Amino acid sequence: MKIKTLSILIILTGILLLPVLTFAADDTVTINVNVSLSAIIEVTPDTITFNQVAPGIVTFPTSKGFTITNVGSTNFTQIYVSLDVWQTGEEDSSPLGTGVASDYYAGGFVVIKNETDLAGGAGTNNWRFAGRQEWNLTKLPTYFTPDTWTVSWGYFGNSSRQYFWDLRNGTDGTCNQTGTSLRIKEWDVNGSSAAYDLGSDIQTGSFTAASGEEWGINTFSAGPLDGYCVATHQSCERIFIYQWDQTSNFPTCSDAWYLYNDPTKLKPNEQFDFNITVWVPKGIPAGTTSSSTLTITAS
């Protein structure tokens, strides 16, 4: 009997694991960043519009909020604002009597409120004109008799009241030198005109002559101009009433305040808010006024 045999070959496959050799190495790199000095602020929004503003009313338009952000790399301690209404190119001639709204510049109606108590003085928590320019009437009102030295007169109006001012020139015939005198009195009380009696309720400013400047400075301790700086032009044709301007546009004025004045500083990436609205006095013609530029400066 032949016996066959079956050979079975079983091949087992597998993975041969060999030890893996690894190497680790590290080192360090020192990173230094020096940030350059950069003084930049960003104001938002960059445009405001007030529509259908009724002149000479107590209720004025809803205020617009602004945010100043320090987007630079240095601290700011003080912030102030200035208007170019007084400069050539913006209301550099009288708009009175033209009947044309565009002869008036929007900046002259702007009032700003500082709600932070950082400014101090009359501007704190009150709406104050950024820069209101008033012009000589030229025509003599029937209720006003000027004295010998009176050379110009006009109205100053806020949102509801009208005041009458008169300007007497200085010793050299201009209104920015020694001897200049600016007086003001409320004229329109609750809609009724009253005679401009020089003997009662007249507020007279304290005048500081300008040396080599175009404007002289008047300050008041009472009345509608209390706490304002009131610049009188050498030509005697106009006065400029402002609160927040700290530029060299005008001689030094003790009543000029900062919008922000904080020794703790506005640090990079911090914000400061303020509000703006407009007061349109009586006697402004209907239509769209010319645009103005409000410059905000941080230092």
Chain centroid offset of residue 142 CA: 37
Closest CA to 128 of 83, 184, 87: 83
Distances (CA, A) of 146 to 7, 99, 134, 152, 187: 140, 27, 18, 9, 15
Q: What does the domain layout of the chain look like in residue ranges? A: 41-298
Q: How many CA atoms lie within 13 A of 235 on its CB side?
A: 9
C-alpha to C-alpha distance for 294 and 100, rounded to whole angstroms: 22
Instruction: Please answer whether residues 259 and 81 qualify as being in contact, where contact means their C-beta atoms are separated by less than 8 angstroms.
Output: yes
| Per-residue pLDDT, 212 | 75
Position with higher pLDDT, 113 vs 57: 113
Position with higher pLDDT, 261 vs 3: 261
Q: Which residue's structure tokens are 């009288």?
A: 94
At residue 41, what is the residue type?
Answer: I
118: confidence class by pLDDT, cuts 50, 70, 90: very low
pLDDT tens digits for 216-232? 999 999 888 998 999 99
Q: Degrees (nearest 5) of the Cα angle 63, 238, 213? A: 105
| Per-residue pLDDT, 180 | 94
116: confidence class by pLDDT, cuts 50, 70, 90: low
C-alpha to C-alpha distance for 129 and 241, rounded to whole angstroms: 7
pLDDT tens digits for 141-184? 777 778 888 999 999 987 667 888 999 999 889 999 999 999 99
| Per-residue pLDDT, 34 | 95
pLDDT tens digits for 273-291? 888 989 998 889 999 999 9
pLDDT tens digits for 79-101? 999 887 656 567 888 999 999 99
Pick from 150-164, 192-206, 208-222: least confident: 192-206
